Amino acid sequence: MPSPFLVPAVIEALRRSPQYGAITHIVPMEAETACAIRVRSLSSGGFILTGDSDALLYDIGACGGVVFFRTVYQPLGDHAHLPNQLDCVKFYPQDITTHLGVPLSRLAYELSHKKYNRLGEAVRACSGPTLDPDLYSRFLDEHLGMNLPSHAAEYAAYVASQLQFMDPRLAEIYLQFLEAQPTKPHEATQSTLAGPLVFLPPLIDCPTWRSLWSMSISIRQLAYTLISQTVASDVAVVWEHVRVQSLEARGKPINILAADAAEAMVHRLLSDFKGISTALGVDSDELWFIIALYSELYECRPSSILNLGLGRLNGLNLLELDNPYSTYVRYMNTLTHSVLYSLRFLAQALKIQPRHTTKEHSPSYYALQRFLNRLPLLDQYPTMEQTAKVLRGISLSRICSISELSSHMDLDFMAASPQSRVEPLPRHNVGQDALPRVTYVNPFDILRLES
């Protein structure tokens, strides 16, 4: 299972579990908030298992407790009474409050805003009034607020039902779109319409190269547009953050498409994906790899294709595929993961139901949704070994014979057969001036030369 997608993969496994599926929920708030509400409602109490110390600040009732992941351990020797036994340290917020004599929320505020040498000093500071009541109020809202949109009371059941099938990142985007909707037209401000933020998971790619997330940006743009249409949003942009290296990073703006442009993109993706699937066969192991190459080529169509996966495949030393951890195999594996995850966004965006009846979608929307139902689960994403195996069996002439790939890119896919591949020239031996100056009619002729 690819580690960048660990959290959504765990949630996906829980949803599909016969034992835990019925009690697994995605909630439109901090998870600890929902857990606290649930524990407080139980007469016998319960425990919140978390890694976030904010859970101690909630009112979880007299019998409620908190267990932190770092305190869970497996007893050894005589302390282990059962096979695979796990023990933990339990914290009861009400008992701690009684023992210290101050509310934990006030103690947390003091510790986060001022440095104390001893806990006793912080406890004594809690006995007096706060020096900045407004700051304390904002602290409580930040750590104990429900984090729901202002109109969530009306939408609570509807929003919760939509979140249950969403990836957590897509769910956050969806909630931000809801949050950006003013309750009254005159309440719209620049801040409310600034656009949702999304932090894409880090990929195992070369940091000096263009991020492989850029190879499926159009797919995610369509997904964001569909969400915007569903909630009738006026937001014009979504900000994507990739490789965040500073707090000042603003992210890359992804513009929301116009309705006719979105419709055209749905038709294009459906036509091309169906064409690829028909050419390869429904159950082909190559399907998602070819779609990843297609997405890469589409996103880079204005520029040279020398450095793309398809270009490298033509001039590849086939011995490199014997090593599942070679540079090219790693590149293709990561590219496929990024495209699959973007398609996951799109598939889920297509399923979101508007609260009120709106214009009916064209049949292409539902056909694309059915096609994307074939997407693999996160824990079924190809491994490096599986990627190398598929690449060894891919026929470049077979790829280039798929006319749908060129239908929207004005490219001629009459490329060389795999038998005519040539060894790539060493980069350090070939300067820019050493390359022959040729006018290329077929863009794939250039694949015979080293980039």
Cα–Cα distance for residue pair 390/388, rounded to 1 Å: 6
Nearest to 144 by CA among 67, 53, 49: 53
State if pTM tops 0.85: no
> Which ranges in 256-302 belong to alpha helices (H)?
259-280, 287-299
List residues bridging with 48 in a β-sheet.
66
Q: What is the pLDDT along the chain (451 residues), one digit of tens a residue?
A: 457 888 899 889 998 999 988 888 887 777 888 888 888 888 888 999 998 888 888 888 888 999 999 999 888 777 777 777 889 999 999 999 999 999 898 998 888 888 888 888 889 989 888 888 888 888 887 777 644 444 444 556 677 778 888 998 998 898 888 877 654 444 444 444 478 989 998 888 777 777 889 999 999 999 999 999 888 888 889 999 887 655 556 678 999 999 999 999 999 999 989 888 887 776 677 889 989 988 888 887 655 444 456 656 655 555 667 788 888 888 889 999 999 999 999 999 999 877 665 567 788 999 999 999 999 999 999 999 999 888 877 765 556 555 445 444 444 333 333 333 333 333 333 343 433 333 433 433 333 333 3
Cα–Cα distance for residue pair 13/200, rounded to 1 Å: 20
Is the C-alpha dihedral spanning 387, 393, 396, 397 positive or negative?
A: negative
Cα–Cα distance for residue pair 32/109, rounded to 1 Å: 18
The answer to whether 101 touches 123, Cβ cutoff 8 Å, is yes
Amino acid found at 229: Q
To the nearest 10 degrees (0 to 180), the angle between helices 217-230 and 327-351 is 10
Q: Report the first-to-last Cα separation within the chain, whole angstroms.
A: 33
Q: What is the DSSP string of 8-21?
A: HHHHHHHHH-TTTG
Sheet holding 197-199, edge to edge: 197-199, 237-241, 252-255
Cα–Cα distance for residue pair 255/262, rounded to 1 Å: 12
